[in-house]
């Protein structure tokens, strides 16, 4: 039964049902199983573990990465049950990363709530992240698919490398666009790409189809992160579920700033170095940053680059079977990019 | 060729060659391969990763856990090369745990040097720990042995649970002997046990032999940790490679203190609560702690319990083939316990 959407959503439809909601509906039975698995596997006799894990896991995340895994597997005609384990595994890796990320960034807010490190402390966040990471591996191992294990374990190393690279580059205005893109590729795109690719692998599809889903995930992931980084300067707080200007305050160098710095006068560069590197920020600095970003098209060009990657992600899907799942994945690309416009 | 030691070392021999040195010599070719693998797999284009990982990995650790894996595999007649991958994997899990442990404990010293978190910061230690943990999984996956993957990924969850349990119990004088033993089982014994057991698994030995190595590792691990906790109050700084009294200063409740608290007067209990829970420590408190531990046999009984577990570990080995590897494992049990006397 094809209950997918045949064409991208029109403007008025988008107001009532987002493409992510549509995908959630399309794989709702499987997603229920994923949520059951998550609840079951994050449990522990050490009660602080489900407390912290649950706090983050039930905090209103969209389950975007597991949705991609489920849709990719179904798109490829997979008939078994192991895709739900892989989807739960991908969500655990993501959640573990968030826990450690918030410790590293000293973030106070995550998805509109106090972040776990604020509520339980950094120490607990580190250790519960480790637990979830191990549970992710337990789930993968249960599928008995060595290729999937290889992909996901390598992805985990790549994510960690991306995190370290970001740490090293933080508060450094000499960060190039190349380094920024390298961080995005590792920190965000790698997991999107693996989440999609394992769907083809578990379904036993050809290398060409694996590669297509891999490319879809990677390019969609890059577009997703670029939009996220643009919205950190341009979004509304309720829309983001995080504080606007977080990246600015943390001295996290994202593409809008890299572009404005590259294109700025010596005086403007001094402003960026003072506010991002030292960091010494006062009233009016964030507004000044927004003005410079507008002047040098920092946000606009970041969004346009996101659109380019979104196009590539669309194209990558084209060799795959044209079914409701493919169309649903196609729609989430459009939706995620359009939320910024 | 049997170059193992036929009997436990005599007192005078122990002064020139320890049982760990003897085991190192026995598997030296394999250990060279393990060290090459470690160097190769901890590398990354992000140079901070090998810097931090190498700082800890080359800081003079004895490679006790990988030695156990190598000896267990050889004991079981294993002829392949995958045991070196498993040994490197076990060392990576251990190193990742140490990195995160030092962040959680806010330790300043590890193996006699500044700990990595002091040199590079907590953030980097968390992320490089994640990287090593992922690399451990990469190595396991390369063996293609799903049973080994199952054992080691479950072991990782158990270690993380142990860490959280220890965090929850820290600075809590109501910690029971049962909780303490549960922490030791998870934090230390689980990895020793897995390190030994995978040797039998990779060699395709019977469930009975797997279980024997599992029991050897577990009971030896418990003995090892009990001795370590006793020496934290009784050892010499050069011998420990860490500051004597670290556990006391960090409010880490270990068995010597649990016993002294249980057996102490109300006034003595108030002393422990003040120094470990609040914590409020002044000159003379550590000496006072040592006196109370002596009075209530806290250290002595901890060491005696270690001896009991060491006996069990010896017994567990008995069903396995009597060769140089078994005798060498047997000798390290004796050596590790005797270092406390």
Residue ranges in B27-145 assigned as alpha helix (H): 28-41, 48-57, 64-75, 82-105, 116-120, 122-143
| Mutation choice for A interface testing from B42, B47, B141, B148 by most A CBs within 10 A | B141
Query: Alpha carbon of B260 to those of A248, B76, B226, B248, B274: distances in Å?
Result: 53, 43, 15, 13, 15
Question: Distance (Å, rounded) from C-alpha A95 to C-alpha A64?
Answer: 12
A residues 118..147 contacting B (CB < 8 A): 122-124, 126-131, 133-135, 137-138, 141, 144, 146
According to the model, what pLDDT value does residue B8 have? Answer: 47
Minimal Cα distance from B169: which residue of A?
A: A46
Question: Distance (Å, rounded) from C-alpha B16 to C-alpha B24?
Answer: 14
Is the minimum CB–CB distance between A92 and chain B shorter than 8 Å?
Answer: no
CB contact (8 A) between residue B161 and residue A124:
no
Is the minimum CB–CB distance between A322 and chain B shorter than 8 Å?
Answer: no
Q: Are strands A113-114 and B109-110 parallel, antiparallel or unpaired?
A: unpaired
Using a CB-CB distance cutoff of 8 angstroms, which residues of chain B are in contact with residue A126? 100, 103-104, 126
- The residue with tokens 């010599």 is B25
Residues B134/B187, Cβ–Cβ less than 8 Å:
no
Q: What is the DSSP letter of B144?
A: T
Half-sphere exposure for A79 (CA within 13 Å, toward CB): 0
Using a CB-CB distance cutoff of 8 angstroms, which residues of chain B are in contact with residue A104? 123, 126-127
CB contact (8 A) between residue B141 and residue A138:
no
Query: Could you tell me which of A255, A237, A244, A232 has the C-alpha nearest to residue A308?
Result: A255
Question: Distance (Å, rounded) from C-alpha A340 to C-alpha A49?
Answer: 36
Question: Distance (Å, rounded) from C-alpha A298 to C-alpha A339?
Answer: 18
CB contact (8 A) between residue B153 and residue A131:
no
Using a CB-CB distance cutoff of 8 angstroms, which residues of chain B are in contact with residue A49? 161, 164
Question: Distance (Å, rounded) from C-alpha B285 to C-alpha B13?
Answer: 39
Query: Alpha carbon of A171 to those of A97, A117, A279, A280, B244: distances in Å?
Result: 21, 22, 8, 11, 38
Is the minimum CB–CB distance between B323 and chain A shorter than 8 Å?
Answer: no
Which segments within B49-136 are labelled E, that is strand? 109-110, 113-114
Q: Classify B111 in phi/psi space as left (phi over 0), alpha (psi -120 to 50) or beta.
A: left
Using a CB-CB distance cutoff of 8 angstroms, which residues of chain A are in contact with residue B150? 138, 141
Write out pLDDT tens, residues B56-98. 888 878 899 999 999 999 999 999 999 999 999 999 999 999 9
Query: Could you tell me which of A256, A297, A248 has the C-alpha nearest to residue A277?
Result: A248
According to the model, what pLDDT value does residue A340 have? Answer: 67
Question: Distance (Å, rounded) from C-alpha B140 to C-alpha B135?
Answer: 9
CB contact (8 A) between residue B141 and residue A123:
no
Is the minimum CB–CB distance between B174 and chain A shorter than 8 Å?
Answer: no
Question: Distance (Å, rounded) from C-alpha A316 to C-alpha B193?
Answer: 47
Residues of chain A scoring pLDDT < 70: 1-17, 107-112, 235-243, 340-341
Question: For residues A252 and B188, which has the higher predicted lDDT (pLDDT)?
Answer: B188
* Average pLDDT of every residue of chain B: 90
Q: What are phi and psi of A317, to 5 degrees?
A: -70, -20
According to the model, what pLDDT value does residue B242 have? Answer: 55
Q: Classify A144 in phi/psi space as left (phi over 0), alpha (psi -120 to 50) or beta.
A: left
Write out pLDDT tens, residues B244-298. 788 898 888 999 999 999 999 999 999 999 999 988 899 899 999 999 999 999 9
Rounded to an integer, the average pLDDT of B189-217 is 98
Torsion on CA atoms B286, B288, B291, B295, rounded to nearest 10: -130
Is the minimum CB–CB distance between A172 and chain B shorter than 8 Å?
Answer: no
Is the per-residue pLDDT at B338 higher than 90? no
According to the model, what pLDDT value does residue A164 have? Answer: 92
Query: Could you tell me which of B38, B15, B158 has the C-alpha nearest to residue B87?
Result: B38
Using a CB-CB distance cutoff of 8 angstroms, which residues of chain B are in contact with residue A250? none
Helix (H) or strand (E) holding A109: strand A109-110
Q: Which residues contact B243 (CB under 8 A, 6 or more apart)?
A: B108, B109, B237, B249
CB pairs under 8 A between A and B: 128
Q: In 3-state terms, what secondary structure has residue B80?
A: coil
Q: Which residues contact B40 (CB under 8 A, 6 or more apart)?
A: none
Is the minimum CB–CB distance between A191 and chain B shorter than 8 Å?
Answer: no
Using a CB-CB distance cutoff of 8 angstroms, which residues of chain B are in contact with residue A164? 44, 46, 48-49, 124, 127-128, 131
Q: What are phi and psi of A299, to 5 degrees?
A: -75, -45
Using a CB-CB distance cutoff of 8 angstroms, which residues of chain B are in contact with residue A144? 146
According to the model, what pLDDT value does residue A171 have? Answer: 82
Q: What is the DSSP letter of A60?
A: -
CB contact (8 A) between residue A46 and residue B149:
no
Beta bridge mates, A51:
none
Is the minimum CB–CB distance between B236 and chain A shorter than 8 Å?
Answer: no
Domains annotated on chain B, with CATH? 13-338 (1.10.600.10)
pLDDT-derived band at B175, boundaries 50, 70, 90? very high
* Residue A28 distance to chain B (closest CA, Å): 29
According to the model, what pLDDT value does residue B312 have? Answer: 98
Query: Could you tell me which of B208, B164, B143 has the C-alpha nearest to residue A48?
Result: B164
| Mutation choice for B interface testing from A93, A105, A130 by most B CBs within 10 A | A130
Is the per-residue pLDDT at B17 higher than 70? no
- The residue with tokens 């960026």 is A272
Using a CB-CB distance cutoff of 8 angstroms, which residues of chain B are in contact with residue A149? 137, 141, 149
According to the model, what pLDDT value does residue B241 have? Answer: 53
Q: In 3-state terms, what secondary structure has residue B106?
A: coil
According to the model, what pLDDT value does residue B154 have? Answer: 96
Q: What is the pTM of this model?
A: 0.91
| Mutation choice for B interface testing from A42, A129, A133 by most B CBs within 10 A | A133
According to the model, what pLDDT value does residue B58 have? Answer: 83
According to the model, what pLDDT value does residue B2 have? Answer: 40
Question: Angle at Cα B308 formed by Cα B302 and Cα B310, nearest 5°?
Answer: 100
| Joined tokens for residue A202 | 């578990």
Q: Which residues contact A102 (CB under 8 A, 6 or more apart)?
A: A110, A115, A116, A117, A125
According to the model, what pLDDT value does residue B81 have? Answer: 97
């Amino acid at each position: 039964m094809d209950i997918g959407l045949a064409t991208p959503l029109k403007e008025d439809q988008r107001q009532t049902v987002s493409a992510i909601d549509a995908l959630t509906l399309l794989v709702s039975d499987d997603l229920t199983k994923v949520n059951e698995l998550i609840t079951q596997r994050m449990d522990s006799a050490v009660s602080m573990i489900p407390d912290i894990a649950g706090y983050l896991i039930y905090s209103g995340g969209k389950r975007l990465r597991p949705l991609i895994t489920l849709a990719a597997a179904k798109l490829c005609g997979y008939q078994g049950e192991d895709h739900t384990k892989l989807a739960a595994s991908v969500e655990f890796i993501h959640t573990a990363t968030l826990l450690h990320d918030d410790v590293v960034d000293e973030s106070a807010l995550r998805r509109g709530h106090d972040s776990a490190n604020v509520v339980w402390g950094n120490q607990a966040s580190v250790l519960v992240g480790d637990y979830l990471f191990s549970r992710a591996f337990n789930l993968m191992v249960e599928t008995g698919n060595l290729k999937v294990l290889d992909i996901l374990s390598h992805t985990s190393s790549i994510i960690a490398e991306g995190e370290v690279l970001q740490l090293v580059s933080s508060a450094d205005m000499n960060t190039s666009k190349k380094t920024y893109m390298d961080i995005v590729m590792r920190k965000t795109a790698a997991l999107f790409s693996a989440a999609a690719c394992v769907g083809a692998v578990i379904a036993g599809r050809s290398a060409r189809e694996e590669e297509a889903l891999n490319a879809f995930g990677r390019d969609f992931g890059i577009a997703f992160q670029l939009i996220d980084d643009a919205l950190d300067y341009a979004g509304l707080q309720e829309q983001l579920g995080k504080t606007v200007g977080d990246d600015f305050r943390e001295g996290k160098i994202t593409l809008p700033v890299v572009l404005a710095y590259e294109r700025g006068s010596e005086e403007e560069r001094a402003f960026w170095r003072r506010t991002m590197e030292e960091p010494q920020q006062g009233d009016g600095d964030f507004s000044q940053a927004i003005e410079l970003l507008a002047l040098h098209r920092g946000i606009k060009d970041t969004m346009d680059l996101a659109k380019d990657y979104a196009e590539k992600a669309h194209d990558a899907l084209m060799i795959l079977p044209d079914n409701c799942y493919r169309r649903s994945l196609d729609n989430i690309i459009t939706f995620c990019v359009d939320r910024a416009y």
